[in-house]
């Protein structure tokens, strides 16, 4: 049923007319607030001196923790994350206080002139330091299945090792932004947030006002990627405290450098593992000890850790499995949600182990993977049954391409010494649902107007992923009103309330299902009225009425839907419907037992990447990609392709080009010139993405499956392809020992010279 429907706001975006927060016309008296960030990683606040700042023309006021009328807290999973710290700063970049000025640039200038004295303390920065100091967030997560000891004993090979994954910056285009407008009673908040209800709760508590006097309204985000799931609460709170104090509308917008310095990112993870297997590659036992660097406050570190744990076996059945995972508290900015939400880290560990098994046995990694893939009916280490595994089928489909490309790679590598090609294949099995069961809720309010147009409010936030386009399509299909007559409203907590964040790739499942329920009820009412009109007008009794393209049809006769709506209103039928959806079947993951059924279903897929690397410079080029992505059905093929290709490239960026650099706890790669995200030139020349429409019944609305995050994991195949290319260099010619450090390059050049002289 995938229709060709363009982005619902595509024309607005393409013509530059779509409004983000800072594009909205300024309210009368709008002023700007800018935070003063800590320039130490840890220290007691001794003194804050605003005097220089106060002398600047345009300075209006300042705010500190003393100006917070309510609770000094923005933590939701756990309290204790302050708006402004009262005694001690806990990370470099933490907002300590803020200044308010007449315009944006004056506010920044004033903020820069604030002098803060600290009594510095030694910060904890790394996972190792945190382990040494026992600095952890609770709870620790455990999984225990089978008997690993026995498994190791029965294994012909046992390998062990250490792995780690890098930090990643979200690099959304719109930085953290918020505008707060005081109303006759209460406040209107316009944050750039994936979680409007969280913002509402935080502001009410920070300002000590009732929640019904806080209205949060969000039209769209200039990208979120998880960076706007929890991060925006702090900045919305600062803006609200400023507005509360000066009693004027206030805007906050972070400069890029400050945004990268101060806000949460993808967690660094480390793992120690032991893996037992047989000479045919069959894995017998796996044991993990996993740590993440959670930063200064718990933020979403525990659910992120949980999703890592629940993906740390990726696509493979492992009979004996034991795992212990802990999030560390350190003095870096808090780490937070980022596309995949711990999943990519867990999968990276497993895929690294598979590659190592292949090296140990000198077999093609493809064979090791095939040996261990989940089959339908297998259970995960946490006990959830994989009702339907598409992994075998996907491997069969992609194998011819893999073999063909592998041959090319081998031929190239035989002829070339300093340039090597590499190939890798990465399967995925990604669980869809919030792992916190309570969050799996969707909402939709549909209103029909007598001119045949529709207003839809739903619980999803539009951040580029086109949840709105797809919800509009669901409504359109169900009622028969064309997408051009459907307007998707901003997310507003006065229309749709108590909603979970738009996250975990669930927004279409949850809110699309709610919209479907509302639309179905409205359609039934319209059919009832239409039957009456067909009878009156044409004297026909309709059994079944067709409704599509804004027209009701019965036995060759037609009535415009708008006429039916008009009549329905006249007949006192309710032409608005508010519906709710909750995901069935799922349970929370039980932390003590290490068991649960946290996912409604799984998404499957497989990716093959081919790269060419220059062993002397370390430069690489992604040449070819083939992805086969399983989904039950597609509502909008173009949107799905956009999500798959975009996520894949973002995943590649994480493990290859991007490098978040810190110097003693201070982020230093804080601008586009030092933090390199992929660009158009990094797209492979062959980029073959295939949607495998499985028709799976373990899926969601109209048979679709969540698409936002799973394809991020395909990016890992680029990393392993590069690794394989480098290792080919190592294997066939010891001339160069990667990595291509300056020393190694020099060594290689010297060796080459010697060879020439001979
Ligand atoms: N796509 C775009 N263009 N921009 C984004 O910020 N966020 C991703 C993904 N795709 C994102 C995106 C993340 S992290 C998630 S969880 C999902 O979209 C959320 O939206 P969905 O539930 O509608 O898939
Ligand atoms: N994914 C994204 N965000 C979340 C989740 C999740 O599984 N759980 C809580 N917040
Ligand atoms: Mo996505 S990391 O669940 O916002």
Mapping DSSP onto H, E and C, the string for 376-404 reads CCCECCCCCECCCCCHHHHHHHHHHHHHH
Estimate the crossing angle of helix 637-655 against helix 343-361, to 10 degrees. 70
Residue 245 CB–ligand 3 contact under 6 Å: no
345 CA to centre of own chain = 13
pLDDT tens per residue across span 635-674? 999 999 999 999 999 999 999 999 999 999 999 999 999 9
For residue 756, the model assigns a pLDDT of 59
Residue 308 CB–ligand 2 contact under 6 Å: no
**Closest ligand to 588 CA?**
2
Residue appearing with tokens 């220290």: 43
Averaged pLDDT score across all residues of the chain: 96
pLDDT tens per residue across span 451-468? 999 999 999 999 999 999
Share of the chain above pLDDT 90, in %: 94
**Closest ligand to 709 CA?**
1
pLDDT tens per residue across span 588-637? 999 889 999 999 999 999 999 999 999 888 899 999 999 999 999 999 99
For residue 741, the model assigns a pLDDT of 64
Q: What is the distance in A from the centroid of ligand 3 to the CA of 247?
A: 34
Q: What is the distance in A from the centroid of ligand 3 to the CA of 227?
A: 8
Q: What is the distance in A from the centroid of ligand 3 to the CA of 341?
A: 6
pLDDT grade, residue 744 (50/70/90)? low
pLDDT tens per residue across span 9-66? 999 999 999 999 999 999 999 999 999 999 999 999 999 999 999 999 999 999 999 9
CA distance 19 to 440: 29
* Mutate which of 459, 708, 714 for ligand 1 pocket (most atoms within 8 A of beta carbon): 708
DSSP type of residue 246: H
Asked if residues 622 and 682 have their Cβ atoms less than 8 Å apart, the reply is yes
Report the topology of domain 10-123+170-262.
Aldehyde Oxidoreductase; domain 3 (3.90.1170)
- The residues, ordered by sequence, that sit 6+ positions from 101 with a Cβ below 8 Å of its Cβ are 31, 32, 34, 56, 58, 59, 60, 107, 109, 110
Report the pLDDT averaged over residues 578-590: 97
Report whether pLDDT(82) > 60. Answer: yes
Residue 338 CB–ligand 3 contact under 6 Å: yes
Q: Where in the chain is the domain with CATH 3.30.365.10?
A: 124-168+265-372, 387-435+597-758, 441-582
For residue 416, the model assigns a pLDDT of 93
Nearest residue (by CA) to ligand 2, atom 8, is 434
Give the 3-state secondary structure percentages of the chain, helix then strand then coil, rounded to 5: 35, 25, 40
Asked if residues 187 and 213 have their Cβ atoms less than 8 Å apart, the reply is yes
Pseudo-torsion of CA 676, 680, 681, 687, nearest 10°?
120
DSSP type of residue 702: G
Helices (H), 297-342: 301-309
Report the topology of domain 387-435+597-758.
Aldehyde Oxidoreductase; domain 4 (3.30.365)
Residue 463 CB–ligand 1 contact under 6 Å: yes
Q: Structure tokens of 210?
A: 């009732």
The predicted model scores a pTM of: 0.96
Asked if residues 500 and 428 have their Cβ atoms less than 8 Å apart, the reply is no
Is 88 labeled as catalytic in the residue annotation? Answer: no
For residue 460, the model assigns a pLDDT of 98
* Mutate which of 503, 647, 654, 706 for ligand 3 pocket (most atoms within 8 A of beta carbon): 503
Choice between 733 and 166, residue whose per-residue pLDDT is larger = 166
Q: Tally the C-alpha atoms within 13 A of residue 521's C-alpha that lie toward its C-beta.
A: 18
Ranges assigned E (strand) in 79-186: 88-89, 95-101, 115-120, 136-145, 157-165, 177-182
Residue 647 CB–ligand 3 contact under 6 Å: no
Report whether pLDDT(492) > 80. Answer: yes
589 CA to centre of own chain = 20
Kindly indicate whether the domain formed by 441-582 is annotated with CATH number 3.40.50.150: no
Q: What is the distance in A from the centroid of ligand 2 to the CA of 314?
A: 18
Looking at 709, 716, 730, 757, which residue is catalytic?
Answer: 709
Report the topology of domain 124-168+265-372.
Aldehyde Oxidoreductase; domain 4 (3.30.365)
Q: Structure tokens of 526?
A: 């319209």
For residue 751, the model assigns a pLDDT of 66
Pseudo-torsion of CA 296, 165, 311, 593, nearest 10°?
-50
Nearest residue (by CA) to ligand 3, atom 4, is 226
Q: Tally the C-alpha atoms within 13 A of residue 661's C-alpha that lie toward its C-beta.
A: 13
């Amino acid at each position: 049923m995938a229709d060709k429907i363009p982005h619902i706001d595509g024309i607005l975006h393409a013509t530059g007319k779509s409004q983000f927060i800072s594009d909205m016309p300024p309210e009368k008296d709008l002023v700007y607030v800018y935070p003063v960030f800590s320039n130490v990683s840890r220290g007691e606040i001794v003194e804050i001196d605003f005097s220089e700042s106060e002398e600047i023309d345009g300075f209006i006021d300042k705010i500190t923790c003393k100006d917070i009328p309510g609770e000094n807290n923005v933590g939701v999973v756990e309290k204790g994350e302050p708006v402004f710290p009262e005694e001690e700063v806990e990370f470099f970049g933490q907002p300590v206080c803020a200044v308010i000025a007449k315009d944006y640039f004056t506010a920044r200038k004033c903020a820069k002139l604030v002098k803060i004295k600290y009594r510095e303390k030694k910060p904890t920065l790394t996972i190792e330091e945190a382990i040494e100091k026992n600095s952890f967030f609770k709870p620790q997560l455990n999984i225990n299945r089978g008997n690993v000891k026995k498994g190791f004993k029965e294994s012909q090979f046992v390998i062990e090792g250490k792995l780690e994954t890098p930090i990643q910056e979200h690099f959304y285009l719109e930085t953290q932004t918020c505008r707060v407008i005081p109303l006759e009673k209460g406040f209107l908040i316009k944050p750039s947030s994936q979680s409007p209800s969280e913002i509402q709760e935080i502001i009410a508590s920070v300002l000590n006002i009732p929640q019904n006097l806080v209205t949060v309204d969000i039209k769209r985000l200039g990208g979120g990627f998880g960076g706007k799931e929890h991060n925006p609460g702090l900045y919305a709170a600062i803006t609200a405290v400023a507005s509360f104090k000066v009693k004027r509308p206030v805007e906050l917008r972070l400069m890029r450098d400050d945004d990268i310095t101060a806000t949460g990112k993808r967690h660094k993870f480390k793992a120690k593992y032991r893996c037992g297997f047989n000479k045919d590659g069959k894995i017998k036992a796996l044991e993990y000890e996993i740590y993440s660097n959670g930063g200064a406050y718990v933020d979403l570190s525990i659910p992120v850790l949980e999703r890592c744990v629940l993906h740390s076996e990726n696509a493979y059945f492992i009979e004996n499995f034991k795992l212990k995972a802990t999030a560390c508290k350190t003095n870096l900015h808090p780490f937070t949600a980022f596309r995949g939400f711990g999943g990519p880290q867990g999968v990276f560990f497993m895929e690294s182990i598979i590659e190592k098994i292949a090296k140990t046995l000198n077999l093609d990694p493809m064979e090791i993977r095939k040996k261990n893939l989940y089959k339908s009916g297998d259970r995960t280490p946490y006990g959830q049954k994989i009702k339907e595994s598409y992994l075998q089928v996907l491997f069969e489909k992609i194998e011819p391409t893999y073999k063909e490309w592998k041959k090319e790679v081998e031929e190239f590598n035989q002829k070339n010494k300093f340039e090597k090609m590499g190939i890798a294949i990465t399967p995925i099995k990604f669980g869809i649902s919030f792992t916190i069961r309570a969050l799996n809720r969707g909402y939709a309010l549909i209103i029909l107007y007598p001119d045949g147009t529709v207003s839809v409010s739903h619980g999803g936030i539009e951040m580029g992923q086109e949840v709105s386009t797809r919800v509009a399509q669901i409504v359109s299909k169900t009622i028969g009103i064309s997408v051009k007559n459907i307007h998707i409203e901003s997310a507003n907590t006065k229309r749709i309330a108590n909603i979970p964040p738009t996250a975990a790739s669930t927004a279409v499942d949850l809110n699309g299902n709610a919209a479907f329920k509302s639309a179905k009820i409205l359609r039934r009412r319209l059919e009832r009225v239409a039957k009456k009109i067909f009878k009156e007008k044409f004297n026909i009794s309709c059994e079944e009425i067709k409704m599509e393209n804004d027209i009701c049809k019965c036995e060759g006769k037609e009535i415009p839907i708008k006429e039916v709506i008009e009549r329905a209103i006249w007949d006192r039928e309710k032409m608005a419907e508010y519906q709710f959806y909750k995901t069935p079947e799922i349970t929370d993951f039980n932390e003590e037992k290490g068991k649960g059924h946290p996912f409604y279903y799984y998404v499957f897929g497989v990716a093959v990447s081919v790269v060419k690397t220059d062993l002397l410079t370390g430069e690489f080029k992604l040449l070819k990609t083939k992805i086969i992505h399983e989904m039950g059905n597609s509502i909008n093929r173009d949107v799905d392709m956009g999500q798959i290709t975009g996520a894949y490239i973002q995943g590649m960026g994480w493990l290859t080009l991007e490098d978040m650099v810190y110097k003693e706890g201070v982020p230093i790669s804080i601008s586009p010139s030092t933090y390199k995200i992929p660009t158009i030139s990094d797209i492979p020349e062959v980029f073959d993405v295939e949607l495998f429409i499985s028709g799976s019944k373990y899926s969601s609305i109209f048979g679709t499956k969540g698409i936002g995050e799973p394809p991020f994991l395909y990016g890992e195949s680029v990393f392993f392809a590069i690794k394989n290319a480098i290792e080919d260099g190592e294997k066939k010619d010891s001339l160069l020992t990667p990595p291509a450090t300056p020393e190694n390059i020099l060594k290689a050049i010297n060796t080459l010279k010697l060879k020439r002289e001979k």
